[in-house]
Structure 1
Amino acid sequence: MALLDLILNAWGSFQLFPLTVQISLVLAIPFVYNIVWQFVYSLRKDRVPLVFYWVPWVGSAVAYGMQPYDFFESCREKYGDVFAFVLLGRVMTVYLGPKGHEFVFNSKLQDVSAEEAYKHLTTPVFGEGVIYDCPNHRLMEQKKFAKNALTTNSFRKYVPVIQTEILDYFVTSPNFDMKHNNKGTANVMVTQPEMTIFTASRSLMGEQMRKKFDASFAGLYSDLDKGFTPINFVFPQLPLPLYRRRDLAQQKISRTYMELIKERRKTGDIVPGRDLIDSLMTSSTYKDGVKMTDQEIANLLIGVLMGGQHTSAATSAWFLLHLADKPELQEDIYKEVTSVLAPKGGNINDLSYEDLQDMPLVNNTIKETLRMHMPLHSIFRKVMNPLVVPGTTYVVPKGHHVLVSPGYAQTNDRWFPNAGDFNPKRWSEQSTSASSNDDTVDYGFGAVSKGVSSPYLPFGGGRHRCIGEQFAYVQLGTILATFVYNLKWSLKAGTEVPEPDYQSMVTLPQEPAEITWEKRETCVV
């Protein structure tokens, strides 16, 4: 009662002030409270250093969102490898470098949760019941279901299929139209999303689904990508055009999958192992006997294809741009590809999965691209129980978030000399092991390395490590080998390799991102 009287008296006193004073107080009080709160926070010895900020709630969102790696480095210079910053009302505890990778990726499941960190972001994009919109043990089994389409035998079948799609694209895309043009200009932020959606859908989902996909589906997946922005992290359901496009894209893609699933159910045309769709329709029963619904299968297909599309689209766009800037490296790759193919007669049409394994420069170019341009610049977990930072007195409270950034380490001179130089040949001179620890653990979808203390983790680590790493190398290797065998390309006159665009969680080149190309004498189109 006394508290209520105090509030009423304060309100009465507030109303006695002139309007201009009232407005000033309303504006000033949050700022004063914010500074006082930060001062009190700084006195606690059990909290990591907090990056100072002026604007309440917004915190360091602008600096982080524009240039995350530069922001991390400036904070590290002032506070060390462990610090916290406020991101749109959330307190994010950052631990940079390999020790940070170990701290976050190997934290116990009961202490940190990817599901709680991401489900409000991912559920509108993928749909209900899959990925992070389900308990962790369900996600581990879903990964196992999807992994059935990611075997070595599958990869052997995928290479010629992927290559056929690329060669068809060289003919049908207005950026190439190679039946009529011997040279031209291509915008890689148009060509690579389209090319990767076609190659991934044809190889993973089968010919029937590929026929349902046209160039507009690359745009739909781009609209889904834009559902992963910092503002979505806090407000996943704002009435904005961006959100409406995301939702419409999800609905259209989901309907497309459901049409084929229903058709196969109706006709009984289900062949185990034919493609990922049939694989999930026949082998997606959880250990407790519960079966995935057809809608959940469709939603999981969205997530699988998106994982294979946006990573490969960004990575292939980046390596085309970097190689356009390094014609001598482009020629070295060409020599490697033709040398491997020579015993077969030297034709790219004979490219096989085994050939890709014998092309170290091709694979190292992919590896170097992923080093410089890790698709996700930040990886979050929500803290479910107070979490002690090893070797310190710091405790991350329940409800806060922890953030790790392998991409920061991968682009830092502390771990990679001349980190700003695109140099695939560096990988032939040093170990490429993802960890110094060879022990493995199986979370239900196959054995992965326990150790995550490497500075190079482009596919993440721990139980949430991406299962599509090998497929990515198959898809990207086929794209690179087919490009370099058929084309020479360079940057458009007067341009340089674009700077990264960090507006989305997926790191893309800023536009314009164009190359000029011409056919090689070995071109088969």
Structure 2
Amino acid sequence: MSDRLVAAWQASPLASLSHWQLVAVAAVVFPAIAVLLNVIDQLLLPKKPSLPPHVFHLFPWIGSAVVYGMDPYHFFESCREKYGDVYTFTLLGRNMTVALGPKGSNLIFNGRITEVSAEDAYTHLTTPVFGKDVVYDVPNAVLMEQKKFVKAGLSVDNFRIYVGQIVDEVTKFATQDEAFVELQNGSTEGSVDIFKTMCEVTILTASRTLQGQEVRDSLDKTFADLYHDLDGGFIPLNFAIPNLPIPSNFRRDKAQKAMSDFYMQIIEQRRKSQVGSKDGRHDMIEALMDQSYKNGRKLGDREIAHIMIALLMAGQHTSSATGSWAMLRLASRPEIIERLYAEQKEVYDDGAGGLRELDYDIQKNSVPLLDAVVRETLRLHPPIHSIMRKVKTDIAVPASLASPQSHTSAASLAANKKTDAGYVIPKDYYVMAAPGVSQTDPKIWKDPASFNPDRWMGKGELEPEEQGETVDYGWGAISSGANSPYLPFGAGRHRCIGEQFAYLQLGTILATFVRRYSWKLATRFPDPDYNSMIVLPKAPNNRIILKERS
């Protein structure tokens, strides 16, 4: 038999090929076979009727990664037309079941901890950046206690102090940055990269307030390089294949240790000084240094350091992105900038033709247009387009969510027979929510693609506070209303704890800019850039033209 095989091989055309030619043939043939088998598996082999429909894809393992990564929202909507609100797609070897609409968000955000896990979905991406023993590197119960510790630092008393500190940092930036100095004669216009500006302003204001004076004083090139290298760990590849031995991960790990040691030095020095909270500090480090777990164990200094890194990295990305989009949206509607300026003059009139200093209570309660601008920006530009959980036990999808929806095409309705019962999402799948889809749904919002802050004024299309009952997961009562079509900060136990600080920071930065400048777009409004984990305005159309007020 072996002689026949040898003879057959010698008679075949392949026998005359060189080694490298054979490798080239294999490089073409084997992928082609893999694609063919993948197509056969999807089209011809029977599937469990309880599974959600699976998005067709040519390439195994890769799946729909390319089309999803290019424009997630277009991908979500096009699949929704074919399959309804619940469907599964392959993403770099993982089965991702998407659940769209308010009911889909509720299924994922309010899922039981026995069913879905954020920790299992994100730990391999976040832990190398944030550090061990915090956030998604701990059991959910411990994470809830850590969020309670953080909330202790997000007090109203601290917020009242933060307003002045934020104004001071923005003002200093505007009087010292080279691009802004040229605008100070009141008649010159200047073009600035607003994303770069907001990145710098965001880290300056966050370090002055939450991070502490020592961090603010250390914002030099060395710190910037550490931040950049640490930020390099947030790449989609690390979600698919954790801890690859690649240069960016080596830099990430080195930067993580250096940043952790940097915070440890601050904490150690504070403990040596024995001043404690009586020193008058109002930052997060001071709040965390006195915290203890329910079992009596003190929050460790290394844990504090890693929580501070998590706050720095997560807050910087989302706030700088949202601030950039807000400035760009306002640049596309200069008349709203002037209305914001009129609002400032009305509520802060000092009686002598000037403006009083910004005040926390007024900012929170008496500037409805400014608040509406922030809300409308977050509606159109939620920082994160996809929020994931890993499935721990099979999840039953209600029939009302599993059935094809009214926006599903007639052809796919006929093809999809799952109209009388729900689906079952199997263990080890991932589930994915996309609140941004609901936030621009024409069935919910009038003219959803337009930037219209007035929709939030008075009794608008949606009252954001009317989101159902509240629940306390251990760090304070929050809305349980994951059924809301407006969830820019998520919902449930993993709702962003920095929500109120984000509103404060963004509102104060915008108010300070409105008081100093008018502005307009330098070019057309930018498209979204989905190449990073956060949705950013795509260069080079992220520039605005500023002019200082008289």
TM-score normalised by L of structure 1 = 0.91
Shift of 1:463: 0.1
Residues 100 and 437, structure 2, Cα contact 8 Å, conserved in 1:
yes
Aligned to 2:394: 386
Query: Aligned pair 1:210/2:239, yes or no?
Result: no
Distance in 2 (CA, whole Å) between partners of 1:370 and 1:322 is 11
Aligned to 1:122: 126
Residues 225 and 310, structure 1, Cα contact 8 Å, conserved in 2:
no
Distance in 2 (CA, whole Å) between partners of 1:168 and 1:24 is 60
Structure 2 CA distance for partners of 1:15 and 1:229, relative to 1, 3 Å = farther
Structure 1, unmatched stretches of 5+, are 1-7
Aligned to 2:504: 474
Distance in 2 (CA, whole Å) between partners of 1:41 and 1:384 is 27
Aligned counterpart for 2:384 among listed residues 368, 376, 382: 376
Aligned to 2:451: 422
Aligned counterpart for 1:443 among listed residues 457, 463, 473: 473
Deviation digits for residues 16-73 of structure 1, max 9, x if unmatched?
8737576555333322332233236763211111110001110000110010000001
Residues 322 and 383, structure 2, Cα contact 8 Å, conserved in 1:
yes
SS of 1:58's equivalent in the other structure is coil
Shift of 1:230: 2.5
Aligned to 1:262: 268
Aligned counterpart for 2:314 among listed residues 290, 307, 313: 307
Distance in 2 (CA, whole Å) between partners of 1:395 and 1:306 is 36
Distance in 2 (CA, whole Å) between partners of 1:14 and 1:499 is 58
Letter in 2 for 1:321: L
SS of 1:374's equivalent in the other structure is coil
Distance in 2 (CA, whole Å) between partners of 1:415 and 1:36 is 40
Aligned counterpart for 2:49 among listed residues 21, 24, 45: 45
Shift of 1:482: 0.4
Letter in 2 for 1:384: K
Residues 125 and 250, structure 1, Cα contact 8 Å, conserved in 2:
yes
Aligned counterpart for 1:290 among listed residues 293, 297, 304: 297
Query: Aligned pair 1:483/2:487, yes or no?
Result: no
Shift of 1:81: 0.9
Bigger radius of gyration among the two: 2
Residues 184 and 548, structure 2, Cα contact 8 Å, conserved in 1:
no
Aligned to 2:366: 358
Distance in 2 (CA, whole Å) between partners of 1:437 and 1:459 is 13
Aligned to 1:192: 198
Residues 65 and 230, structure 1, Cα contact 8 Å, conserved in 2:
no
TM-score normalised by L of structure 2 = 0.87
Structure 2 CA distance for partners of 1:58 and 1:23, relative to 1, 3 Å = closer
Letter in 2 for 1:306: M
Distance in 1 (CA, whole Å) between partners of 2:69 and 2:265 is 39
Query: Aligned pair 1:462/2:530, yes or no?
Result: no
Letter in 1 for 2:397: V
SS of 1:110's equivalent in the other structure is coil
Shift of 1:135: 0.5
SS of 1:498's equivalent in the other structure is coil
Shift of 1:240: 3.4
RMSD of aligned C-alpha atoms?
Answer: 2.4
Residues 102 and 452, structure 1, Cα contact 8 Å, conserved in 2:
yes
Shift of 1:514: 1.1
Aligned to 2:81: 77
Aligned to 1:338: 345
Residues 170 and 178, structure 1, Cα contact 8 Å, conserved in 2:
no
Letter in 2 for 1:105: F
Distance in 2 (CA, whole Å) between partners of 1:338 and 1:396 is 55
SS of 1:83's equivalent in the other structure is strand
Aligned counterpart for 1:231 among listed residues 237, 243, 247: 237
Deviation digits for residues 105-129 of structure 1, max 9, x if unmatched?
1111010000000000101111111
Distance in 1 (CA, whole Å) between partners of 2:44 and 2:233 is 36
* Number of residue pairs aligned between Structure 1 and Structure 2: 509
Distance in 1 (CA, whole Å) between partners of 2:45 and 2:213 is 58
Distance in 1 (CA, whole Å) between partners of 2:208 and 2:295 is 32
Structure 2 CA distance for partners of 1:208 and 1:348, relative to 1, 3 Å = farther
SS of 2:158's equivalent in the other structure is helix
Distance in 1 (CA, whole Å) between partners of 2:352 and 2:466 is 41
Structure 2 CA distance for partners of 1:350 and 1:34, relative to 1, 3 Å = same
Distance in 2 (CA, whole Å) between partners of 1:219 and 1:99 is 43
